[in-house]
Amino acid sequence: MTYVEGSHHVTLSVGHAQEDVDFHVKTLGMRFIKRTVLFDGSTPIYHLYYSNANGDPSSVVTTFPWAQAGLFGKRGTNQAREVLLSVPTGSLEYWYKRLIQHNVEVDNLDVFDRRRLAFRHPCGIEYQLVENDNDEREGWTGNGVPREYAIHGLHGVGIHVTTPERMIDFANDTFFSQGQLSEEGDRASFQVGNAKYGNHIELTANVSEDQGTWHYGAGTYHHFAWNLDTLANQDQVKFGIEGAGYTDISELKDRKYFKSVYVRTPGGCLFELAVTHADGGWDCDESPHELGSKFQLPAQFEDQRTQIFEQLEHIDI
């Protein structure tokens, strides 16, 4: 039986590296777990990883800081847009005050009859904090956020589309949607996979904006990754997607910490199908208590360590 377990991580193209670290670590209180580089292409660009206490699949936000390279994107429709993060029920007043104290503008939203907070990364990417009952993932408390308020991990992904029906059909027929479709105004929401949390897809019908960019570029979402659990299951899911006619899908790529394939969905959002394989995981090159303390490189770049490090922005963690 083929399946999606739940979400794995989200990857964003952000602005400068230090402002990204400050936002995720000092403002959102997330754990810094990995400092490495983009595996694709020849331009040295940081790949930075943030998570909850344990780096669980479904808890990780990763970023490429592209401003140093002068590459910028455009937010629009037919593109993933909102980073949805899960926080404990009753924590929004704490987060409202904390965000204001860190000079972050915050809006209160009422979505699907529940309050949530909306704000932006310094590069403009949209974030929302969503309260969830009984989210068992453990928040990180190393940056001054009390345990009862700490971010559990991902709630899901917000995608803007011109034709939501095509994305809903893809999810229903090919990509393991679960439960009932919820609709509210120009929004639709459903869950994907077997997990209890972290796997919400929220679609916003958006015909007023131009097509957003899909290439790397500061200020834009790059992809949302799903946890396929095993390489054998990943293969079967890939075959099923291709067999349904969605052939804009990549070959297997080894990302050291996980192995992945990528598929462009009918709604424009790039999905990654990820597996944390036997030789991977965040602690394959650092012990659990040292995560994020060393600059890591894939083997093919190791002989260029000094040159690459000198080209990248200096960051203080």
pLDDT in tens, 255-288: 999 999 999 999 999 999 999 988 889 999 999 9
Cα separations in angstroms, 82 against 10, 11, 155, 160: 11, 12, 11, 9
Evaluate whether 183 touches 139 at the Cβ level (below 8 Å).
Answer: no
H or E segment to which residue 34 belongs? strand 31-37
Q: Does 206 have pLDDT greater than 90?
A: yes
* Alpha-carbon torsion angle 30, 6, 160, 180, nearest 10: -130
Q: What residue type is 286 in one-letter code? A: E
Transcribe 227-240 into DSSP letters. Answer: E--SHHHHHHHHHH
Question: Taking residues 297-303, what's their average pLDDT?
Answer: 86
Strand partners, 72: 218
Residue 300 — pLDDT band, cuts 50, 70, 90?
confident
Which domains are delineated in the chain?
Answer: 6-311 (3.10.180.10)
pLDDT in tens, 77-90: 999 999 999 999 99
pTM above 0.95, yes or no: yes
